[in-house]
Amino acid sequence: MSQQKSPPSDPVERPSLEQARDEHATLAREIAEHDKRYYEEDAPTVADAEYDALRRRYEALEAQYPELAAADSLTRTVGAKPSEKFSKIRHRVAMLSLANAFADEEVVDFVERVRRFLQIKPDAELLFTAEPKIDGLSLSLRYEAGRLVSAATRGDGAVGEDVTANARTVDDIPQVLKGRDVPEIVEVRGEVYLSHVDFAAINERQAAAGKQPFANPRNAAAGSLRQLDPSITASRPLHFFAYGWGEISTMPADTQFGMIEAFGRFGFNTNPWTRLCTTVEELLAQYRAIEAERATLGYDIDGVVYKVNALALQARLGFVSRSPRWALAHKFPAQQATTILDAIDINVGRTGSLNPLARLRPVTVGGVVVSNATLHNEDYIRGIGGNGEMIRDGVDIRIGDTVIVQRAGDVIPKVLDVVLDKRPPDSMPYVFPTHCPACGSHAVREVNPRTGKEDSVRRCTGGLICPAQSRERLKHFVSRNAFDIEGLGEQRIDELFADDLVRAPQDIFTLEARNAGKLQRLENRDRWGATSVKNLFAAIAARRTIAINRFIFALGIPHVGDTSAKLLGRHFSTFEAFRAAARAAADPASDAYAELTSIGGIGAVVADAIVEFFREAHNEELLDALLAEVTVEPAEAVTSDSPVAGKTVVFTGALEQMTREEAKAMAERLGAKVAGSVSKKTDIVVAGPGAGSKLNKAKEFDVQVMDEDGWFALVGRT
Ligand code: IVH
């Protein structure tokens, strides 16, 4: 008989501080995971009562040991207590995000990139708008016949929450639009925010009512808009700036600036700091001007957004991944704080990288308590700038040092500098381990065969025998954009791994069969129970068929993220085709290698990593074992109704009406695959003047050939 531990909600004898700290941290992770599933994914995996019990236990621990209630405690975050859900609204035009830049040079690159993409002559003018990036939450307001019909939060970009009733209580959001040129349908997008003064007043009221204060105006604005009771929203003076749009039946202007002016005429507030700029210098001057005003604006901003002004050019530039090529968010420098580096831990990543992590004396940076920060790699600690990053030439980082920590948005904090004056006289340079802390194997720095340079990352050579690698790989395998198996989160992987029940991905799929005969069945474990095991097996079974992009991403090939996996899936359609191409690409002179690197968004680094992955026999073995358990679904048929959707296109020769990059982006936007060389699989060759061997090959394979005019006649001027 297995011994049942008390369920988490039960009162226990007073735990020691150490025990309480452990349990508190475990509960925090568990609750955060449930919150994510509930709020972000709308797919809770536990009953409300079970969730409430976890929360109560968490709060009880904090009541016993107030020192556990740090500023980032879940008891202080917004929307902590789920009650009911909002209904959803699918955005007809996705709500995307912006690419970020921190340094001036990145702005220079952005402008150059745009000019190059559009082939704008050096002396020709190109206009941009520059406006504050409001630190609030974005909202999409739909008007039909001039009347507000719905309001949706951004959500995951595709589907947001219906907050219409709440939006109607916001004074800055017109119920009815003004003016003669209001389109029949228009979705106005912008940012909901709170002023500093109102934020302070709300927090005072919260405190007076014995409620937790909000951490910052953004959280308060989000918490106020996402209220189930609109009268609460109405009592919070939310504001709104309009800066963009979604679906729109007729365009009131043909420039970004003109659109903002139109929104002003319709009755919206638009940001008075919006300016038109022509050069990088003007953009940067506007950035500095806005930064200088930051403290006096009365609301939070976190940067300046630059947008190409002409909408026709925006359309040509299109999007890459989830952000437009025509815009850039130039963020203000992150917040910093000084603290002491108590220790350096080494974490072993999924690909075996030894990642140094700074353990810091806890310090508040921009309202968040930070106790860990990244130290990047061995060279960064040694002060010799491996991959270009270093503190200052020759300055190393030592345990005991007073360091400056920086936090930027959601990214993991980093150790930015050392205060040398405060370095203890007896400190010693840090000696980076040469053996993996997880498995004891040698950890080496590989030499890149292409560049001949030593990699700045030290990697464990243990491969799959290294528990850290296989465990991290498993966690990646079940993660949200990979297999995303409900009920199989990081903690359960840890547990199953520790007990040798799941050591490799394929083991997940044999778990049920093995469980049937086992004495120590999963059902008998603490916190599992018959229902959750049954649900887990059902969730695993449901994933025996998996979309190709998820499957490729799940493999954890270095550099192959979610976006690359999608591109690869779309390009090769079936996993067999991808696998065959990846094997054939082992020769960098092969057509297969050329095909791989010709896929928009897949560069040499990704291609090389793919080739390396398939070169490893143990990876091939893993694939065979896995494919015996799961079926990979081919990429979904392209839904675009363009005549080139699903076709393979090759552009060759000099293109005169568009750049090569633009041509490729356009074809891909229309659902075509763009290849670098002509083969039997090619459907269309678009040949400009000077086309040579590819044109001959096209004739040889009887492929349809057209010039640029023919291409535009086929696809239209999109
Ligand atoms: S334009 C296609 N303009 O920043 C993307 N966004 O990091 C259109 N934001 O989700 C966004 N101020 O919530 C734009 N002036 C501004 C903005 C702004 C704040 C937010 C917005 C967006 C996020 C992207």
Q: Residue 70: what pLDDT?
A: 65
Q: Residue 36: what pLDDT?
A: 64
User: What separation in Å is there between the alpha carbon of 299 and the centre of ligand 1?
Assistant: 15
- Say which range, 187-191, 205-209, 397-401, 705-709, has the weakest mean pLDDT: 205-209
> Is the distance from the beta carbon of residue 290 to the nearest atom of ligand 1 less than 6 Å?
no
Quote the Cα angle for 565-569-575, to 5°: 110
Q: Residue 366: what pLDDT?
A: 65
User: What separation in Å is there between the alpha carbon of 530 and the centre of ligand 1?
Assistant: 46
What's the chain's average pLDDT?
A: 86
The larger pLDDT score, comparing residue 666 to residue 179, is at 179
Residue among 91, 98, 287 whose CB has most ligand 1 atoms within 8 A, to mutate: 98
> Is the distance from the beta carbon of residue 91 to the nearest atom of ligand 1 less than 6 Å?
no
How far is the C-alpha of 667 from the C-alpha of 267, rounded, in Å?
A: 39
**Cβ proximity of 549 and 635 under 8 Å:** yes
Closest CA to 493 of 518, 467, 517, 513: 467
Q: Give the pLDDT band of residue 385 (cuts 50, 70, 90).
A: low
Q: Give the pLDDT band of residue 597 (cuts 50, 70, 90).
A: confident
Given a cut of 50, whether residue 311 has pLDDT beyond it is yes
Contact residues for 716 (Cβ-Cβ < 8 A; gap 6+): none
Q: Span 267-294, mean pLDDT?
A: 95
> Is the distance from the beta carbon of residue 135 to the nearest atom of ligand 1 less than 6 Å?
no
User: What separation in Å is there between the alpha carbon of 97 and the centre of ligand 1?
Assistant: 6
> Is the distance from the beta carbon of residue 324 to the nearest atom of ligand 1 less than 6 Å?
yes
Quote the Cα angle for 474-574-569, to 5°: 65
How far is the C-alpha of 637 from the C-alpha of 465, rounded, in Å?
A: 39
Q: Residue 2: what pLDDT?
A: 34
- What domains sit in the chain, N to C, each tagged with a CATH number? 88-331 (3.30.470.30), 547-633 (1.10.150.20), 648-715 (3.40.50.10190)
Question: Which residues on neighbouring strands pair with residue 301, listed in sequence order?
Answer: 134
Q: How many angstroms separate the Cα of 168 from the Cα of each of 304, 483, 495, 665?
A: 28, 40, 48, 40
- Alpha-helical runs (H) found in 41-168: 48-64, 104-118, 164-167
Q: Give the pLDDT band of residue 427 (cuts 50, 70, 90).
A: very high
How far is the C-alpha of 571 from the C-alpha of 565, rounded, in Å?
A: 10
Q: Span 27-42, mean pLDDT?
A: 64
Closest CA to 540 of 515, 569, 568, 574: 515
How far is the C-alpha of 307 from the C-alpha of 397, rounded, in Å?
A: 40
User: Would you state the structure tokens that stand for residue 42, as one six-digit string?
Assistant: 């709308």
How far is the C-alpha of 345 from the C-alpha of 405, rounded, in Å?
A: 16
Closest CA to 346 of 334, 337, 354: 354
Given a cut of 60, whether residue 330 has pLDDT beyond it is yes
Q: Residue 77: what pLDDT?
A: 40
User: What separation in Å is there between the alpha carbon of 282 and the centre of ligand 1?
Assistant: 21
Given a cut of 90, whether residue 538 has pLDDT beyond it is yes
Q: Span 52-56, mean pLDDT?
A: 66
How far is the C-alpha of 525 from the C-alpha of 277, rounded, in Å?
A: 64
> Is the distance from the beta carbon of residue 657 to the nearest atom of ligand 1 less than 6 Å?
no
Q: Residue 41: what pLDDT?
A: 42
How far is the C-alpha of 614 from the C-alpha of 578, rounded, in Å?
A: 11
Q: What is the pLDDT of residues 227-267, one digit of tens each?
A: 888 899 999 999 999 999 999 999 999 999 999 999 999 99
Q: Span 544-553, mean pLDDT?
A: 96
Q: Span 26-35, mean pLDDT?
A: 76
Q: Span 46-53, mean pLDDT?
A: 54
How far is the C-alpha of 610 from the C-alpha of 581, rounded, in Å?
A: 10
Residue nearest to atom 10 of ligand 1 (CA): 97
Contact residues for 150 (Cβ-Cβ < 8 A; gap 6+): 89, 141, 142, 162, 164
Given a cut of 90, whether residue 553 has pLDDT beyond it is yes
Q: Give the pLDDT band of residue 3 (cuts 50, 70, 90).
A: very low
Q: How many angstroms separate the Cα of 96 from the Cα of each of 156, 198, 235, 319, 569?
A: 9, 29, 30, 9, 22
How far is the C-alpha of 689 from the C-alpha of 601, rounded, in Å?
A: 26
Residue nearest to atom 21 of ligand 1 (CA): 138
> Is the distance from the beta carbon of residue 302 to the nearest atom of ligand 1 less than 6 Å?
no
Atom of ligand 1 nearest to the CA of 271: 15
Q: Span 475-485, mean pLDDT?
A: 93
Q: Is 615 helix (H, G, I), strand (E, B) or coil?
A: helix
Atom of ligand 1 nearest to the CA of 131: 15
Residue in 36, 133, 307, 697 annotated catalytic: 133
Percent of the chain scoring above 70 in pLDDT = 89
Q: Give the pLDDT band of residue 4 (cuts 50, 70, 90).
A: very low
Given a cut of 80, whether residue 289 has pLDDT beyond it is yes
The larger pLDDT score, comparing residue 606 to residue 115, is at 115
Q: Residue 43: what pLDDT?
A: 45
Q: Residue 669: what pLDDT?
A: 78
Q: Residue 73: what pLDDT?
A: 61
Residue nearest to atom 17 of ligand 1 (CA): 133
Q: Which residues of 33-68 are buried (b: 16+ CB within 10 A; e: fewer)?
A: ebbebbbeeeebbbeeebbebbbebbbebbeebeeb
Given a cut of 70, whether residue 38 has pLDDT beyond it is no
Q: Give the pLDDT band of residue 389 (cuts 50, 70, 90).
A: low
Q: Residue 6: what pLDDT?
A: 34
Closest CA to 610 of 621, 600, 602, 618: 602
> Is the distance from the beta carbon of residue 329 to the nearest atom of ligand 1 less than 6 Å?
yes
16: amino acid identity, one letter: S
Q: Residue 76: what pLDDT?
A: 42
Percent of the chain scoring above 90 in pLDDT = 49
Pairing of strands 185-193, 137-144: antiparallel
Q: In the annotation, is 36 catalytic?
A: no
Given a cut of 80, whether residue 636 has pLDDT beyond it is no
> Is the distance from the beta carbon of residue 300 to the nearest atom of ligand 1 less than 6 Å?
no
**Cβ proximity of 355 and 372 under 8 Å:** no
Given a cut of 60, whether residue 13 has pLDDT beyond it is no
Q: Residue 212: what pLDDT?
A: 76
